[in-house]
Amino acid sequence: AALAAGAQRALRLALKTAEAQKVFCESQNEAHGRCVHEAAQSTTRLQALERSLVEVEERLGKVAAGTQLSGFSGRLAHNEAAQKRLEQRMKQFEAEELEGRFSKLEAVTKELKTQLQELEPRGKEAKQAEDVQSRLAMLEASMSDHGRQLRGCQSLADESARQLKDLDTAMAELQGAAVAEALFGGSAAPEDDAPVKSDSGPAMEALASQLARLEEQLGAAKLPELRREMEDLRSGLRAPEPEAEAPIVEGVKVEPAAKAILELRGRLEDLAEIVDERNLSQTRQVASLVPELKAHVERLGKQCAQCSAKTEAFEVRLDLTRTNLDTQEQRLQALSERVEKGLVRSCLPPPGSGASCAAAGEKLSLFNKPKHVHFAPPSCGDQLPTLLPKEPFFSMQSAKVSQKLDELCAKLPPKEPPAKIQEEVAQEAPSRSEEKIPQDVPADGPAVEKTPPPSPVRRSISDFTGC
């Protein structure tokens, strides 16, 4: 095969070289033809040039002789005079054209200057009006923004006022509860007030806990400051400065309103920071962590479900393999028992003949040895892939195991027919006709059955599956 392949390659190379030589020869022939054609063309051109040179020499000779000088000199003088006349006309035309254009441009510039002088005040007024309108629009937009901000400030101030009212009511209730406890705590209370005390106990505790929580959140030292700021905000919002309410006219300044708005913004930002830091920071952190925790829990639940499903499937497959192996083992045991019974019956001499059973016992012991296994399933490798799970890894392993089982089955010794065994037993038996049966093998008793050792097929399967 290697020589044939080498010969084929050599033939291919020879064919390729022949084709290359043919192409090279064709290209050389084409180049030679082109060179010949170009040489012929060059010779014809040289001949034409030689003829033109001869004609030029003849003309030069005639010119030198003075035969054609008179006509050329007259033509040259006429052409020079015409050129001078054309130059003079061009100069005159250019001067006239430039003068007319200059006069037109001067008239246009004068008209433009007069129009500009007329339009200058109107243009300035229009520009000023446009600037004023743009500034007014900007001021209106800023004032609308300020109004929205003031409305937001007012809403925040109302909310803080409600909170302060709640605090005041809680403080008043706590003070009343403290006074009541001071009045009725040491002495015995009247019978009418006893149920009131029992009912107000948990309510007072709830109010006390709520007040303690609010004091922790806001701070006892900052309560009067907050009240003062709220009063200032109320006074500032209810009685605004006249400069802020004045109509917007040209040249009016809005600095006081802007300063007041900036102060309000600063106070509102401080209040919002206090509320966010003490009330909402932890809740926001927890709220931000909740979706991540939910996603993590869902992911873990899915993984647990997948693991449980896989384990259940694997357990089912293991149970199936175990049941299949048990059935195969039972079949193997039954078949081995049948084979041994047949061998025992074939090895035992007939009752009429006086052959001894010692040789038969030796023969049976030979068949009972683990190295002589006279049974092998015909399709031991084909049944194994059905027991294993249908996955790529297990399919590869099952293929390897089936191959190994086929090799083991091929190595097993062939099964000997019972007729051959009978002939061997008859040849080895002594000629004595009457001999007692030894005690190891009773005549009337059942045949000796020994459990066969595990076959190599079973051993390989148990090594692979671990069961």
CA 207 – CA 214 distance, rounded (Å): 10
- What's the confidence (pLDDT) of residue 229? 63
450 close to 371: Cβ distance less than 8 angstroms = no
Residue 271: name the closest of 161, 168, 160, 163 by CA. 160
* Separation of first and last alpha carbons in the chain: 51
Kindly indicate the confidence band of residue 240, based on its pLDDT and cuts at 50, 70 and 90: very low
CA 334 – CA 340 distance, rounded (Å): 10
Residue 465: name the closest of 392, 393, 410, 398 by CA. 398
- What's the confidence (pLDDT) of residue 353? 55
- Answer whether residue 109 shows pLDDT above 70: yes
More confident residue, 27 or 176: 27
Tokens at residue 451, please?
């459990």
- Answer whether residue 398 shows pLDDT above 60: no
How large is the average pLDDT for residues 114-119?
A: 71
In the chain, the amino acid numbered 127 is: K
- What's the confidence (pLDDT) of residue 436? 42
- DSSP at 444: S
Q: Report percent pLDDT > 90 for the chain.
A: 0
In the chain, the amino acid numbered 209 is: S
Q: Which residues of 446-455 are buried (b: 16+ CB within 10 A; e: fewer)?
A: eeeeeebeeb
257-261, 287-291, 403-407: which has the highest mean pLDDT? Answer: 287-291
The pLDDT tens digits of the residues spanning 420-454 come to 555 655 565 544 444 444 444 444 444 444 455 55
323 close to 467: Cβ distance less than 8 angstroms = no
CA 299 – CA 33 distance, rounded (Å): 84
CA 153 – CA 371 distance, rounded (Å): 101
Q: Which residues of 76-96 are buried (b: 16+ CB within 10 A; e: fewer)?
A: eeeeeeeeeeeeeeeeeeeee
The pTM (predicted TM-score) of the whole model is 0.21
214 close to 167: Cβ distance less than 8 angstroms = yes
Helix axes 223-238, 255-275, angle to 10 degrees: 150
